[in-house]
Amino acid sequence: MSNLEIGFAAMGVLLALLAFRVPIGVVLGGVSLGGIYAIMGERATIGVAKTMVFEFVAKWELSAIPMFLLMGAVAFRSGLTKGLFDCARLWLSRLPGGLAVATNYASAGFSAASGSSLATAAAMARLAVPEMLRYRYDPGLATAVVAASGTIGTMIPPSILFVLYGMFTGQSIGLLLMAGILPGLLTAFVYGAMIIIRCWLNPRLAPAIDEQVTWADRLAALKDIAPLPLLILAVIGSMYSGLATATEAAGFGAFASMVIAAARGGMSLRVLADSINDTLRSTGSIFFIAIGATLFSRFLTFAGVPQFMSQLAENFAYDPMLLLAVIAGGYLVLGMFLDPMGLLLLTIPIFLPFFEAAELDLIWIGVLVVKMIEISLITPPVGLNAFVVRGVIGNAVTLGTIFKGLVWFLAAEVLIVGLLVAFPQISLWIPMSMQ
């Protein structure tokens, strides 16, 4: 077999193993080392395994990942995120579908702090879904808004996906994080508008709430959650102003979250220990997959797959929109089988030559890739966020009802992606203003 044939055969084995639910980190590392051995022999395989792991984890930029994770863990464990839904409910409950709109924006804030779509879906399913069902909201709307709005956190900083995308594509992590702000806010706005319009046209979806709320109540709730948005704005502002790199901003965010938690009386040795434990577990899982992806990328290079892909990509160079459509379809299909991190790290080494051959802006493409991963989390039949919500609420709502409700959010995503493709400046305006 030629090196190229070995490369494509290994990719087939990789997909087959993933279909059998073998952990993606194990699959990426094992298939890569086996492929390198087939091409270069035992000594070269040992050498690659010894050097590449250290070279990857020793990169300074990657320290942003545990710092962002620690910031989110402290915010959650110390109760900084606890009042988000209540605050949004007090301010927005009078709108058509007010509780669903409140859930949408509360989830966006929660996921921006935690950096985890799945954690947001689980937490908001506990907080918001029972409240909406108590007020006789349509079960499909109540559950779907939690599943869909939880994905916004992959776009709004701090986003671990953007950090990893930047590492594997050589793009500025700070610019990527900034590029996700407006698309993330756009997603939250379109979701909210869609909910309001639907509930205005069909009030049975969300019966009006007869609740007397004073301005004193609203201001008190706003004061209670103020430290969290201020923390997120401080992290984003430090990067936008140039005062800090993404890594330094992550360290500042982690430290500031602990200071704020301590000032509010929410910090204890138990909270700190649990937060560190959460961070270590998440970091270990991410790094294990990322190391496997690094080995996979090097194996593909040895096999000549990127060069072959670059030549193949010339067929798309004259029609970038066709390229984007094909790759978007690939993400939606693979998203049925892979978690967001694994999906990103598996596909970037394969798709990057196509993007480069078509001379597409890799910051803009990064936003579109993360957006496709967002959408895959709510796409039937295996939208992970839908399963998370179903697992938390139990038998109160069927999985079919959740996916039926998500159809409206998928329709909203079609509009959002169309805007991001038609107007790249939505993604690029903030990064360009920093240069």
Round the CA-based radius of gyration of the chain to a whole number and report it: 22
Question: Which amino acid would we find at residue 391?
Answer: G
Written as one letter, the residue type at 177 is L
Residue 360 in tokens: 């597409």
Query: In 81-163, at which residue ranges do the beta strands (DSSP E only) sit?
Result: none
Tell me the C-alpha distance between 24 and 165, whole Å.
17
Q: What DSSP assignment string belongs to 235-302?
A: HHHHHHTTSS-HHHHHHHHHHHHHHHHHHTT---HHHHHHHHHHHHHHHHHHHHHHHHHHHHHHHHHH
Tokens of 370: 């993360």
Per-residue pLDDT, 186: 95
Place of tokens 């996700």: 180
Q: Are 428 and 179 in contact (CB under 8 A)?
A: yes
328: nearest Cα among 309, 343, 307, 310: 343
Separation CA 176–CA 174 (nearest Å): 5
Q: Phi and psi for 88 in degrees, rounded to 5?
A: -65, -35
Residue 428 C-beta-side C-alpha neighbours within 13 Å: 14
- Cα distance between residue 162 and residue 366, in whole Å: 7
Report the distance separating Cα 277 and Cα 209, nearest Å. Answer: 41
Q: Which one-letter DSSP state was computed for residue 143? A: H
Please enumerate in sequence order all residues whose Cβ is within 8 A of that of 89, keeping only pairs 6 or more positions apart, or say none: 98, 99, 102, 131
Going residue by residue through the chain, which has 435 residues, state the pLDDT in tens, using 9 for 90 and above: 788 889 889 888 988 887 787 888 888 889 999 999 999 888 888 888 888 777 777 777 788 888 888 888 888 888 777 777 778 888 887 889 999 999 998 888 887 776 677 777 887 888 888 888 888 999 999 999 999 998 887 888 778 889 889 988 989 988 999 999 999 999 999 999 999 999 999 999 988 877 777 788 888 888 888 888 888 888 888 888 888 888 888 899 889 989 999 988 888 999 999 999 988 888 888 888 888 888 888 888 888 877 777 666 666 656 778 888 888 888 887 776 677 777 888 888 888 888 887 788 999 999 999 999 889 888 877 677 888 888 888 877 888 899 999 999 999 999 999 999 999 999 999 999 876
Res 135: pLDDT = 85
Cα 299 from Cα 287, distance rounded (Å): 18
- The answer to whether 139 and 401 are in contact (CB under 8 A) is yes
Query: What pLDDT does residue 414 have?
Result: 93
* H or E segment and range at residue 243: none
DSSP state of 63: G
What are the structure tokens assigned to 5, written together?
């044939």
The first and second tokens of residue 76, run together, are: 């959650």
Task: Determine the 3-state secondary structure of 338 from DSSP.
Answer: coil
Tell me the CB-side half-sphere exposure of residue 127, using CA atoms within 13 A.
Answer: 26
